[in-house]
């Protein structure tokens, strides 16, 4: 795992490039590398976290003739086998890293090389022969890669802060995207900063230094169009195929020249990975878990019993209210996205603990998306994404008439609470949170239009309604939120490489063909996965119902917490809000007052509290990335 930076078609001094790369020190603390082609204005920088080939794996990496140059972040699996086949074809390697394989695959197969890439990755290839740049991101967007573009002048970076640290682009929040985010419309192509975009998951950007650029997909999820019914294979056959590929995905991710551990919760996903590791790893695995002070959210006892089952070394970090709040600003500096819940901070603290013992971690992200684990996948479910990730907020705010309108416009309702959020009343409340100077623009736009822009209707048409929700869950939540807030960014904040076996694309290709009635049976979510992993987990994990990894909701109230009081004084003051000019101070004051009223229904108080936490998070982003950026970089 590493950090990469590239400046294309514009000049930057080596000193400025090095300074910008320093903002990625947490991603690559072991060594730095640089390359400059001043004639063609191509500059590459790399910050390395050594995982494989600790001695000779420095980047950038060159081919034999020095006319192909690579900087890479992430891991390519099964690379030893691929390397051997390439050597037989005449390719010469001068390192033992997985990254070098990428370069020779491209050299051998050209633009057909994508199918050989298995893993989590983001990389840039400079093809001097053709005068082209190729920027590639893995299939699910596990590893980040951002870019800014202006008249074919590009800056690519593993994080937004490193692009800003070149001081070649303007720093400005995107108000429309912030509003859309409140409405749970999250874009996996555009960020919350104007002019800063993601290289989309499963896609690449090809830049011709003279002519222009294009963005193309090399892979998509392509859920089956067949109707909801059992397929030609039996449950047993699907189970056999899945277990074989899943075990391979786990074993491949144990390959490292440094210690490997696992993040362990009380859920079926991480416990299944842990149980599989114990079958193949001879030495004790190190397992890491979080203990919340609120018993409703704490699964540490289940995690500990699972660790005992597989005889793992168990480590635990306590995440109480004050600790979570005290680390909120640090967590947002790394995630670079707004958030209403502290689960990202909890993952930040967990990674801080793990860093003392290992450099590689296996995690369970993706299981709910693959096996339909969320309650909102169930028929007639009133459960919401906000229930899952922000606390019980919108339970009684569904608007059936507006949900019907959403369904007419896009063919399905991605999330239940969108009925209220997209309604006239919902939009009136949400838009009122923002500064009056933005109100006209927001009133003229609507999140339904943003939602239509981010959906690829060719991936929706002809699919079962539940599969449409699955598509949105993967593209509209997993990639732009979960893998950011709960994945790479919080892990790499402490120089930890996260690996996700359940998001191995070969595993996904098998799982997506498994009939829905095998995945959800008699209202039991993830039925297939539970049965497949039954002998690897504890009985309580096997029988337990789905519980999101979520931190306790913390009241935005000075009287509840010293740390919360500091955040309120710092970010919700009249001076702070009016300086940022994102939100309306008078409306925020109303929210603070209303939040203290106890006779409101709980979901109303929760909605108000989440809006206030969201405001604080955006205010923090503004301070760290806009107004005071020079202090932090």
SS3 136: strand
Three-class HEC string of 315-363:
EEEEECHHHHHHCHHHHHHHHCCCCCCCHHHHHHHHHHHHCCCCCEEEC
Which of 2, 183, 271, 485 is the catalytic position? 2
Q: Which two tokens stand for residue 252?
A: 């491949």
Angle at 208 between CA 207 and CA 212, to 5 degrees: 80
Q: Which two tokens stand for residue 314?
A: 């168990």
CA pair distance 177, 512, nearest whole angstrom = 31
Backbone angles phi, psi at 4, to 5 degrees: -125, 150
DSSP, res 435: -
Question: How far is it between the farthest Cα atoms of the chain?
Answer: 75
CA pair distance 537, 268, nearest whole angstrom = 8
Q: Which two tokens stand for residue 564?
A: 């919360």
Q: How far is CA 604 from CA 391, 393, 596, in A?
A: 11, 7, 11
Backbone angles phi, psi at 70, to 5 degrees: -125, 140
Please report where in the chains the tokens 């970090």 appear, as a residue: 317
Q: Is 2 labeled as catalytic in the residue annotation?
A: yes
145: left (phi over 0), alpha (psi -120 to 50) or beta: beta
Backbone angles phi, psi at 420, to 5 degrees: -80, -45
Q: Catalytic site residues?
A: 2
């Amino acid at each position: 795992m590493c950090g990469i930076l590239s400046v294309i078609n514009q000049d930057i001094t080596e000193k400025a490039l090095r300074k910008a790369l320093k903002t990625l020190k947490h991603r690559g603390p072991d060594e730095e590398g640089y390359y400059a082609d001043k004639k063609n204005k191509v500059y590459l920088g790399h910050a390395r976290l050594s995982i494989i080939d600790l001695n000779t794996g420095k980047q950038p990496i060159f081919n034999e003739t020095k006319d192909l140059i690579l900087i890479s972040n992430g891991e390519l699996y099964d690379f030893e086998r691929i390397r051997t086949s390439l050597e037989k074809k005449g390719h010469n390697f001068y390192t033992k890293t997985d990254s070098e394989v990428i370069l020779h695959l491209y050299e051998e197969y050209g633009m057909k090389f994508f199918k050989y890439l298995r893993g989590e990755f983001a990389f840039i290839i400079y093809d001097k022969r053709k005068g082209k740049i190729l920027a590639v991101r893995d299939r699910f967007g596990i590893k980040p890669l951002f870019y800014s573009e202006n008249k074919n002048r590009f800056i690519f970076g593993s994080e937004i802060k490193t692009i800003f640290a070149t001081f070649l682009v303007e720093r400005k929040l995107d108000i429309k995207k912030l509003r859309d985010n409140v409405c749970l419309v999250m874009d996996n192509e555009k960020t919350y900063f104007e002019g800063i975009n993601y290289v989309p998951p499963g896609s690449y950007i090809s830049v011709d230094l003279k002519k222009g650029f294009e963005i193309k997909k090399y892979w998509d999820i392509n859920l089956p169009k067949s109707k909801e019914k059992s397929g030609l294979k039996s449950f047993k056959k699907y189970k056999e195929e899945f277990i074989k590929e899943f075990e391979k995905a786990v074993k491949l991710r144990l390959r490292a020249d440094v210690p490997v551990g696992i993040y362990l919760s009380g859920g079926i996903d991480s416990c299944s990975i842990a149980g599989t590791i114990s079958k193949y790893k001879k030495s004790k695995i190190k397992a890491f878990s979080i203990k919340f002070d609120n018993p409703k959210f704490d699964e540490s006892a289940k995690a500990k019993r699972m660790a005992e089952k597989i005889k793992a070394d168990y480590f635990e970090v306590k995440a109480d209210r004050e600790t979570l709040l005290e680390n909120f600003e640090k967590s947002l500096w790394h995630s670079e996205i707004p958030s209403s819940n502290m689960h990202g901070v909890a993952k930040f603290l967990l990674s801080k603990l793990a860093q003392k013992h290992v450099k590689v971690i296996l995690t369970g992200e993706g299981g709910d998306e693959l096996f339909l684990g969320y309650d909102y996948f169930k028929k007639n479910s009133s459960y919401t994404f906000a229930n899952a990730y922000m606390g019980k907020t919108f339970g009684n705010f569904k608007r059936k008439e507006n949900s019907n309108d959403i369904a007419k416009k896009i063919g399905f309702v991605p999330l239940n609470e969108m009925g209220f959020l997209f309604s006239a009343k919902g939009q009136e409340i949400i838009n009122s949170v923002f500064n009056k100077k933005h109100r006209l623009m927001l009133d003229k736009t609507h999140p339904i239009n943003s939602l239509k822009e981010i959906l690829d209707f060719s991936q929706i048409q002809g699919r079962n309604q539940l599969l449409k929700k699955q598509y949105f869950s993967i593209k509209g939540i997993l990639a732009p939120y979960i893998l950011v807030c709960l994945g790479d960014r919080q892990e790499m904040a402490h120089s930890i490489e996260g690996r996700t076996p359940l998001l191995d694309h070969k595993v996904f290709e098998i799982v997506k063909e498994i009939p829905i009635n095998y995945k959800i049976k008699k209202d039991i979510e993830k039925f297939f996965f539970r049965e497949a992993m039954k002998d690897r987990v504890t009985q309580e994990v096997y029988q337990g119902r789905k519980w999101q990894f979520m931190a306790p909701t913390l009241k935005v109230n000075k009287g509840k917490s010293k740390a919360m009081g500091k955040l309120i004084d710092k970010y919700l003051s009249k001076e702070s809000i009016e300086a940022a000019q994102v939100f309306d101070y008078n409306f925020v004051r109303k929210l603070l007052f209303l939040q203290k009223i106890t006779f409101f229904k709980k979901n109303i108080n929760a909605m108000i509290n989440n809006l206030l936490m969201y405001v604080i998070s955006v205010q923090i982003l503004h301070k760290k990335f806009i107004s005071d950026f020079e202090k932090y970089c």
